[in-house]
Amino acid sequence: MAKPERHVFVCMQSRPSGHPKGSCAGKGSVDLFRAFQNAFEARKLWGRFALTNCGCLGPCETGPNVLVYPDGILYANVGENDIEVIITEHLLAGQPVRRLYPSEEIWPNDS
């Protein structure tokens, strides 16, 4: 297996309803992950890039959260409409999508 250029992690953590932290799954990340899979398939990105669902990444309040390595860039409140720009600008062109950054206190993307 070749080392992927970038690896996208989509938080799919779920928690019981009413839990004080909420969860990314409770805010639509299951559908978001499926949409990412469909986009990877449509663009034939498998192999060059990797896509993995994962558990809690930490800042649950800003979910659905998506983390891209090796850059260590966290995207917050990601919706299906954001997938195209993440793929086009970040994965393919290497330019992180700043408008999807959480605050520096949540995740210091620039440090």
Give contact residues for ligand FES (rule: CB under 6 A): 11, 13, 23-24, 56-60, 63, 65
Residue 57 or 87: which CB sits closer to ligand FES? 57
Least distance CB 58 / ligand FES (angstroms): 6
Least distance CB 57 / ligand FES (angstroms): 4
- DSSP string over 26-84: GGTHHHHHHHHHHHHHHHT-BTTEEEEEES--S-GGG-S-EEEETTTEEE-S--GGGHH
Phi, psi (5° rounding) for residue 79? -115, 170
Least distance CB 55 / ligand FES (angstroms): 8
Residue 47 or 79: which CB sits closer to ligand FES? 79
Residue 1 or 17: which CB sits closer to ligand FES? 17
Q: How many residues does the chain have?
A: 111
The H or E element that residue 9 is part of is: strand 6-11
